[in-house]
């Protein structure tokens, strides 16, 4: 089993000092200062074991809570093949595919995924390292990644439907609440989405037929737990699980940034959506970045603060941040 030694990429999507809700699409050619990592669909770094452990823990807690399909038995051979090819092309040190045996050697997990002629997982021939069997090929491939995955179906009019979610690092939302819904329903709880919602079909068609694209979302966290599902496991108290409780006497504050990618499969009418979460210690940010973060929080509307879990800690965080400037 190999362990990467490269550091995670750094992304800071609030350079203008404002919190904004917008599509914010960037092409894969965009340079964010991370070299070759920026152009990779799937980013792998030395934190991989932490992400893998989080996914395994989520699976052991409840498969249906974190891995959902709108209809049981769905398969996505074109998407699966694309993921497999991307892993081998982007990370040849970690993934090797043997076409003769239809076997993918995954050196990060010590698993070997063997596929049949229909691109389905051959459980008898595969070497797996999970307590609970993989549901299908898509599930098995998702477990080799640090990213969470979603698949959206988009028709020729731009109407979309969320078909599948592999969400082991939810940021205070539940896969079961979103699966099977359209763009408007999925984002109904997000403040400031009104103008974007009016262009929902246009945006869906762009993700299907153009791109691939990269976009970013961000928020604040008081811990680095990847899994913040709205309902925690029974062995952890609610307060400890929810997080977002800033204590100025023992200040722990992290910028949680999501790098999201959207890749369209026009012939299939599908869009692959990836979500990779990063945590950056606010105390270690540059002075200019702390000021931009302060300004962004200060200008947030009340409904956004409530949605982000900052309504009760905004002033405390601002006071503490002011001492860091």
Task: Note the pLDDT tens digit of each residue in 267-291.
Answer: 999 999 999 999 999 999 999 999 9
14, part of any domain:
no
**Residue pLDDT, tens place only, 158-174:** 999 999 999 999 999 99
Give residue-wise pLDDT tens across range 125-157: 999 999 999 999 999 999 999 999 999 999 999
Classify residue 214: in a domain, yes or no: yes
Whether residue 291 lies inside any domain: the answer is yes
Average pLDDT over residues 200-221: 93
Lookup: tokens for 285: 């940010």
- Own/partner contacts of 108-115, CB < 8 Å, gap of 24 or more, are 108/1, 108/2, 108/3, 108/4, 108/44, 108/48, 108/52, 108/144, 109/1, 109/52, 109/143, 109/144, 110/1, 111/140, 111/143, 111/144, 113/137, 113/140, 113/141, 113/144
How far apart are alpha carbons 260 and 168 in whole angstroms?
Answer: 15
| Low-confidence winner among 26-40, 60-74, 192-206 (lowest mean pLDDT) | 192-206
> Would residue 17 count as lying in a domain?
no
Look at the chain and report how many structural domains it folds into. Answer: 1
24, 216 Cβ separation under 8 angstroms? yes
Please indicate, yes or no, if residue 21 is contained in any of the structural domains: no
How close are the terminal C-alpha atoms of the chain, in Å?
43
The more confident residue out of 54 and 250 is 54
Does the pLDDT of residue 218 top 90, yes or no? yes
Q: What is the pTM of this model?
A: 0.94
- Within-domain flag for 303: yes
- Taking 70 as the threshold, does the pLDDT of residue 238 lie above it? no
In whole angstroms, what is the distance from residue 156 CA to residue 259 CA?
A: 27
Rounded to an integer, the average pLDDT of 61-89 is: 95
Residue 157 lies inside a defined structural domain of this protein: yes
Q: Is 80 exceeded by the pLDDT of residue 22? A: no
Report the 10 Å Cβ neighbour count for 236: 11
Structural domain span for residue 307 = 26-324
The confidence band for 49, taking pLDDT boundaries of 50, 70 and 90, is very high
Tell me which residue has tokens 């890749």: 263
Indicate whether 264 belongs to any domain: yes
Which pLDDT belongs to residue 20? Answer: 75
């Amino acid at each position: 089993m190999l362990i990467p030694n490269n550091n995670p990429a750094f992304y800071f999507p609030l350079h203008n000092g404002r919190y904004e809700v917008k599509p914010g699409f960037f092409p894969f050619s965009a340079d964010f200062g991370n070299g070759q990592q920026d152009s990779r669909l799937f980013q792998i770094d030395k934190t991989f074991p932490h992400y893998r452990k989080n996914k395994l823990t989520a699976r052991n807690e409840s498969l249906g809570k974190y891995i959902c399909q709108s209809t049981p038995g769905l398969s996505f051979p074109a998407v699966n093949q694309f993921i497999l090819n991307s892993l081998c092309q982007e990370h040849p040190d970690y993934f090797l595919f043997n076409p003769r045996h239809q076997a993918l050697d995954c050196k990060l997990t010590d698993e070997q995924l063997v596929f049949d002629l229909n691109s389905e997982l051959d459980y008898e021939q595969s070497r797996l390292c999970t307590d609970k069997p993989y549901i299908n090929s898509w599930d098995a491939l998702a477990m080799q990644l640090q990213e969470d995955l979603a698949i959206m179906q988009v028709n020729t009019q731009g109407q979309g439907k969320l078909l599948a979610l592999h969400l082991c690092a939810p940021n205070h939302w539940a896969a079961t609440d979103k699966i099977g819904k359209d763009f408007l329903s999925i984002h109904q709880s997000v403040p400031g989405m009104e103008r974007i919602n009016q262009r929902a079909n246009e945006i869906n068609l762009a993700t299907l037929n153009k791109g691939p694209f990269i976009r970013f979302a961000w928020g604040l966290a008081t811990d680095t737990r990847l899994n913040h599902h709205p309902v925690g496991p029974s062995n952890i108290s609610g307060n400890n699980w929810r997080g977002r409780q800033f204590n100025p006497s023992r200040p722990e504050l992290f910028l949680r940034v999501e790098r999201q990618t959207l890749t369209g499969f026009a012939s299939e009418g599908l869009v692959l959506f990836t979500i990779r979460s990063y945590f950056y210690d606010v105390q270690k940010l540059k002075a200019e970045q702390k000021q931009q973060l302060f300004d962004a929080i200060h200008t947030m509307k009340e409904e956004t603060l409530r949605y982000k879990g900052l309504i009760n800690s905004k002033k405390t965080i601002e006071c503490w941040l002011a001492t860091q400037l």
